[in-house]
């Protein structure tokens, strides 16, 4: 007998079934009478809860919402070095030091850029790490970007005399859940946070109870904190298994490559 593989992520429908049980609205086979999937406020409760849980676990260092190897290209070369010029990549496009162009752009779900690497476009060489600085000082540009500063929700740089590619690692948001319909049943909508059913359901239940002045709202909030800690504790234990060694003072060799600065 074949066995269907178990889905490690909860569905939106499973979260809502659990939330209805928490607020004693598990009528009609779990579909509910008030907190139904079709109720116009339900999708708002669910998306609000998803945003809150994602923010909680990001702030506690859970890396499930970190994205890597996103390539931004081309970061076009400056026509000539000019210490007065800065360039940037934003959600609106790329400012090349003189004019705004449509691409490249930051990914739409980017909340915070964590790390940036560079390489010359077309070189086929490994990406080399850039150094985050604050503030970005004035200097003559050369064949490397070298430094970056995340300011005004964009990657600011001095520019380079050669065209470059950027590779970025960033923390991101999850996509909003669309209202449940026949064409979009929530049983098919996956929430990309492992073991998050109880935490999400409790936050939904808290929002529902708070809006109705229920005395149980505070208890729902405390339970949501408890279930969130269970998620973050699992990731903390996993990270503790990874050996870490402090880089020696003044070390310039990273990944077997000597940096040019």
The per-residue pLDDT for range 90-105, each reduced to its tens digit, is 999 999 999 999 999 9
Alpha helices (H) in the chain, listed in sequence order: 12-22, 42-59, 197-211, 217-240
Residue that wins the pLDDT comparison between 190 and 241 = 190
The pLDDT value given to residue 159: 97
Share of the chain above pLDDT 90, in %: 78
Among 176, 184, 7, 24, CA closest to 108: 176
Neighbours of 227 (CB within 10 A): 18
The pLDDT value given to residue 248: 64
Confidence of residue 224 (pLDDT cuts 50, 70, 90): very high
Confidence of residue 59 (pLDDT cuts 50, 70, 90): confident
Share of the chain above pLDDT 70, in %: 87
The residue extents of the domains of the chain are 12-40+179-233, 65-173
- pLDDT tops 80 at residue 239: no
Q: Which two tokens mark 67?
A: 């994205």
- In which residue are the tokens 């945003």 written? 51
DSSP letters for 214-259 = -TTHHHHHHHHHHHHHHHHHHHHHHHHTS---PPPTT--EETTEE-
- Tell me the average pLDDT of the chain: 90
Q: What pTM was estimated for this model as a whole?
A: 0.80
Q: What is the mean pLDDT of residues 82-86?
A: 96
The pLDDT value given to residue 28: 87
Residue that wins the pLDDT comparison between 208 and 243 = 208
214 contact partners, CB below 8 Å, separation of at least 6: none
15 — phi, psi (to 5°)? Answer: -60, -45
DSSP letters for 179-198 = PP-SSS-GGG-B--STT-HH
The pLDDT value given to residue 7: 72
- pLDDT tops 70 at residue 244: no
The pLDDT value given to residue 62: 80
Confidence of residue 256 (pLDDT cuts 50, 70, 90): low
The pLDDT value given to residue 75: 98
Q: Which two tokens mark 66?
A: 């970190």
């Amino acid at each position: 007998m074949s066995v269907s593989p178990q889905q490690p992520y909860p569905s939106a429908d499973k979260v809502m079934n659990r939330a209805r049980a928490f607020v004693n609205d598990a009528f009609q086979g779990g579909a509910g009478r008030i907190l139904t999937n079709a109720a116009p406020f339900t999708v708002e409760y669910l998306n609000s809860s998803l945003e809150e849980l994602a923010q909680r676990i990001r702030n506690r260092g859970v890396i499930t919402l970190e994205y890597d190897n996103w390539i931004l290209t081309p970061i076009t070369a400056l026509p000539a070095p000019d210490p007065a010029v800065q360039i940037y990549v934003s959600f609106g496009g790329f400012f090349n030091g003189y004019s705004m162009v449509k691409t490249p752009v930051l990914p739409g779900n980017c909340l915070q850029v964590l790390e940036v690497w560079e390489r010359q476009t077309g070189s086929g060489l490994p990406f080399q790490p850039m150094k985050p600085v604050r503030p970005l000082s004035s200097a003559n540009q050369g064949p490397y970007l070298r430094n970056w500063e995340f300011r005004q929700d964009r990657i600011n740089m001095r520019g380079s005399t050669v065209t470059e590619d950027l590779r970025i690692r960033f923390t991101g948001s999850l996509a909003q859940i669309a209202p449940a319909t026949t064409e979009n049943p929530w049983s098919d909508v996956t929430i990309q946070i492992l073991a998050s059913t109880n935490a999400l359901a409790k936050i939904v239940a808290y929002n529902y109870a708070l809006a109705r002045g229920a005395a149980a709202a505070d208890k729902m909030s405390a339970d949501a904190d408890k279930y969130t800690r269970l998620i973050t504790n699992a990731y903390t234990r996993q990270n503790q298994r990874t050996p870490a060694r402090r880089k020696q003072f003044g070390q310039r060799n990273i990944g077997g490559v000597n940096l040019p600065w």
